[in-house]
């Protein structure tokens, strides 16, 4: 069974919610990415999202744009990232999703990218700028490789399109709780529970909510309405502040543990 599917099944059995954490791969360098992945596993992170550095990350706010830039400057490429994931797999079974723009798949070759990702130990892809209506070949390749194809639903997505999107998803549905790009916010969207309930009318897949969650209390609020909370910019921002400090990994491990405790009601 795919690690993402298995993790959500276990969480459901235990009446628990998921913490999904996003970081930019190669920020500040790939060895830090490897160490952070292992630290996050220890801290209680259920799924790790790794942003593949890209020169034009249109869905991302400034914090994650700068992380992508630092990843590019550190020399992170898709093959080097996959080698790092293979190294993580020698020590951890934490489910891993690549947050990626389609241009990179196209440049590498979609079939090759998916096969190489599966061989390295990736569990799913979230391709930000690939419309589901144009994804038949991609989805077939993903099924053949045993990877989850994760799709986004936005606050502005019409009801009929929600049904179309979620029927194609595997692993979980990622609900973007706010309009615009990624980034930290001071509060959780007021209509969150209503929107999650609407999505649930169309799918039995778990629903994870992201964009704007920045502290344990917000993570707890989101998890109470959904099956998981996704935290990205708040973590990436700390990586930016700490840089290559020797305290980077322990400080981030402590922070994400506080998020995990919030999500799981500890």
- Give the active site residues: 49, 60
Count of C-beta atoms within a 10 Å radius of residue 88: 22
Q: Which residues contact 50 (CB under 8 A, 6 or more apart)?
A: 22, 23, 24, 25, 33, 81, 85, 96, 97, 98, 99
Edge-first strand order for the sheet with 148-149 is 148-149, 124-127, 96-100, 47-51, 18-24, 228-231, 207-210, 173-176, 151-153
Q: Which residues contact 190 (CB under 8 A, 6 or more apart)?
A: none
Q: Which residues contact 131 (CB under 8 A, 6 or more apart)?
A: none
């Amino acid at each position: 069974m795919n690690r993402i599917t298995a993790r959500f099944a276990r969480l459901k059995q235990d009446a628990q919610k998921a913490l999904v954490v996003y970081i930019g791969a190669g920020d500040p360098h790939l060895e830090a990415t490897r160490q952070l992945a292992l630290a996050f596993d220890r801290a209680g992170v259920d799924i790790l999202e790794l942003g593949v550095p890209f020169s034009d990350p249109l869905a991302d706010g400034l914090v994650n744009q700068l992380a992508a830039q630092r990843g590019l400057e550190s020399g992170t490429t898709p093959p080097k990232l996959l080698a790092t994931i293979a190294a993580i797999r020698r020590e951890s079974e934490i489910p891993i999703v690549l947050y990626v723009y389609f241009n990179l798949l196209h440049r590498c070759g979609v079939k090759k990218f998916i096969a190489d990702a599966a061989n390295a130990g990736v569990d799913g892809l979230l391709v930000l700028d690939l419309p589901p209506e144009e994804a038949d070949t991609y989805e077939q390749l993903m099924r053949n490789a045993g990877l989850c194809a994760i799709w986004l639903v936005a606050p502005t997505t019409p009801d009929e399109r929600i049904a179309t999107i979620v029927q194609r998803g595997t692993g979980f549905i990622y609900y973007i709780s706010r309009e615009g790009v990624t980034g930290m916010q001071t509060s959780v969207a007021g209509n969150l529970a209503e929107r999650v309930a609407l999505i649930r009318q169309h799918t039995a897949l778990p629903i994870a909510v992201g964009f704007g969650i920045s502290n344990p209390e917000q993570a707890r609020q989101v998890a109470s309405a959904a099956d998981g909370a996704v935290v990205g910019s708040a973590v990436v921002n700390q990586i930016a502040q700490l840089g290559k400090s020797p305290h980077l990994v322990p400080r981030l491990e402590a922070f994400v543990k506080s998020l995990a405790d919030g999500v799981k009601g500890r």
